Amino acid sequence: MAATHDSHPTASAAPVLYLALELGWNSWKLAFTPGLGQSPRLRTVPARDLTALASEIAKARARFGLPAATTVTTCYEAGRDGFWLQRYLRSCGLACAVVDSASIEVNRRRRAKSDRLDAAKLVTMLIRWHLGDTRVWSTVRIPTPEAEDARQPHRELIELKAERTAHSNRIKGLLAGLGLSIVVDAELPERLERLRQLDGSRVPPRTSERILREFDRWRLVDRQVRDLDNRRVREVRRPGEPPVEKVRRLMRLRGIGSNGAWILVHEFFGWREFRRV
């Protein structure tokens, strides 16, 4: 089964302006070149300043003597910025590849690799990939905005459950230092009142206050977890859109529960494409 990556473009003999973007929070580094053997034109623009980006593309075309209609092929590494930039560039008529960072070719003589490649190095790889060298990297398949939005509930649920466990463990850790243990649930305040240390004394007041504040955070997260769980149960019970029908069908299989079915549908079968090899 092949990985869920976009197909490789077909290189043409027409002039191409290559652009690699290194996306930072405050600024973006741009590397332009019309092909191998040409020193990249490096520029920096404020992050998310699309007007400055368009201006630099126009200047790069002029700098390399390319027609205004020259095709622009771009790339950037998948990360925090997601896919909005790819959608924007495609809407402007620019080809854009979002690169899977883990798949990028690494020089085996230098095992260390920075989290983000230099834009100049990235644009050289972009040229090689565009010319047909598929070993350079793999590109990420871009979900639709609707599919991307549909992933949010189960991702949030996973994070909330981890956060709830962290609050619970923190409460247990505070009490473990006193030689005590407790079940963390809605009745914790009452249980805390009844707890006694080995000498018969109550839990120290400041420790008790901290535990109750931690419990307030646990209770908030627990309520959000239950709200999301209940909403998911209601969606499965009533006739819904095709993804919900897929969830319902998967839950009929032995060994697949609600969590697994939702993740499979919205992370794998919802928008990725698998093909036989």
Q: pLDDT for 168-208, tens place per residue? A: 999 999 999 999 999 999 999 999 999 999 999 999 999 99
pLDDT at 110 over 60: no
Instruction: Please report, for the chain, the start and end positions of each structural domain, with discontinuous segments joined by +.
Output: 16-142, 147-269
Task: Please state, rounded to an integer, the average pLDDT across all residues of the chain.
Answer: 87
High-pLDDT (> 90) share of the chain, %: 62
* Inter-CA distances, 11 with 4, 130, 256, Å: 21, 6, 44
Rounded Cα–Cα distance for residues 28 and 152 (Å): 27
Q: Give 16-142's CATH code, choosing from 3.30.1450, 3.40.1000, 3.30.420, 3.30.750.
A: 3.30.420
Write down the pLDDT at residue 224. 97
pLDDT at 31 over 80: yes
Asked if 72 and 56 count as a contact pair (C-beta separation under 8 A), the reply is no
pLDDT digits (tens, 9 = 90+) for 55-95: 999 999 999 999 999 999 999 999 999 999 999 999 999 99
Q: Which of 48, 265, 42 is nearest to 153 (CA)?
A: 265
pLDDT at 268 over 60: yes
For the beta carbon of residue 120, count every other beta carbon within 10 angstroms.
Answer: 16
> Parallel, antiparallel, or unpaired: how do β-strands 71-77 and 16-23 relate?
parallel
High-pLDDT (> 70) share of the chain, %: 88
**Where is average pLDDT lowest: 195-204, 212-221, 232-241?**
232-241
pLDDT digits (tens, 9 = 90+) for 36-47: 888 999 999 999
Rounded Cα–Cα distance for residues 13 and 50 (Å): 29
Residue scoring higher pLDDT (249 or 241): 249
Write down the pLDDT at residue 3. 43
Residue recorded with tokens 């930072």: 24
pLDDT at 7 over 80: no
CA angle, corner 25, sides to 30 and 89, nearest 5? 50
Tokens representing 98 are 């979002």
Write down the pLDDT at residue 1. 35
Which residues lie below 8 Å from residue 152, measured CB to CB, with a gap of 6+?
none
> Which amino acid does the sequence have at 214?
E
pTM of the entire structure? Answer: 0.77
pLDDT digits (tens, 9 = 90+) for 112-133: 444 455 899 999 999 999 999 9
pLDDT at 11 over 80: no
